[in-house]
Structure 1
Amino acid sequence: MSDTHAVLHDPRGLIKAELPLDRAPHEALITAVLAWKNPDLAPRDYEQIALQLTGHARAIAADVRRHAAALPKNDGRGALAEVILREAGRRLSAPLQGTARCAQNRARLAQALYTRLDRLTEPVPAAP
């Protein structure tokens, strides 16, 4: 891409609409991208894959942010989520490149955000 950043086209504001994520196809894409050994795609193909993963990572981050905000202030999971969200914001602000490495980095980020989301949404065991 020639721009320094890519914008996800979301004219209806669905990313922030708290819709459930369509997780299965994106997890399949993440798995496939992370399994690459020596892919031979055109730079534009890598850019498109990275763009897809970027948009989905932003959606996951919005979900993580929403769940973290709902936690009590003394819940350490919220503080950890904020650290991860800051790192995600930094990584998502980096320009896309037409490389396998860029696509794999976006896949790793989406995977890490899903891990954090799962930890925020799993029930906390009751104290004995």
Structure 2
Amino acid sequence: MHVPDGRPLDREPHMRLVQAVIAGAGHATLPPRDCDQIALQLTEHARTVAAEVRRCCAGLPPDAEPRVLAEVVLEEADRRLAQPHLGTVRCVQMRARQLRALYERLDRLQVAQSAPPP
């Protein structure tokens, strides 16, 4: 899977970061500067994944269930990722969950695209 400029999505390290942020949420305190950096990294990658989700949506009929569900996740991602970084663990967690949701939709879209037509 490649982003528009031809580079592959760097999924694995970002998903490890997502897991660490979500798993360590209850007992970890990160300095605001670290939270800002993590939020920035997750936001930029989420925007890249969202662009790939949009590209995959375009290959499906407008009323296809995977596309409709992906468009709901994209609307939520657009709204949440447009919010400013707050320098908090909660902000980082929200962006981590959003990135995870985008990858889940991308995976389902790719399965739908590879399935034989009914």
> Which of the five TM-score ranges fits, normalised by the shorter chain?
0.7 to 0.9
Query: Is this contact kept in 1: 2:57–2:67, CA < 8 A?
Result: yes
Q: Give yes or no for the alignment of 1:57 onto 2:57.
A: no
Q: Percent identity?
A: 53
Question: What residue is the counterpart of 2:9 in the other structure?
Answer: 21
* Structure showing the higher helix proportion among its residues: 2
Structure 2 portions without partners, runs of 5+: none
Range with greater deviation from structure 2 (44-53 or 15-24) = 15-24
How do residues 1-128 of structure 1 correspond to structure 2 at under 5 angstroms? 16-17=4-5, 19-36=7-24, 37-122=26-111, 123-124=114-115, 127=118
Number of matched pairs: 114
Question: After the TM superposition, which parts of structure 1 deviate over 3 Å for at least 4 consecutive aligned residues?
Answer: none
Once residues 34 and 3 of structure 2 are traced to their aligned partners in structure 1, the CA distance between those partners, rounded to angstroms, is 24
Please report the TM-score for the alignment, with normalisation by the length of structure 2. 0.87
Structure 1 portions without partners, runs of 5+: 1-13
CA displacement at 1:19 relative to structure 2: 3.2
Letter aligned with residue 63 of structure 1: E
CA displacement at 1:125 relative to structure 2: 5.7
Query: Is this contact kept in 2: 1:63–1:117, CA < 8 A?
Result: yes
Query: Is this contact kept in 2: 1:33–1:103, CA < 8 A?
Result: yes
CA displacement at 1:72 relative to structure 2: 2.5
Letter aligned with residue 32 of structure 1: A
> Alignment partner of 2:115: what SS?
coil
Query: Is this contact kept in 2: 1:33–1:107, CA < 8 A?
Result: yes
Once residues 47 and 18 of structure 1 are traced to their aligned partners in structure 2, the CA distance between those partners, rounded to angstroms, is 28
CA RMSD between the two structures: 1.8
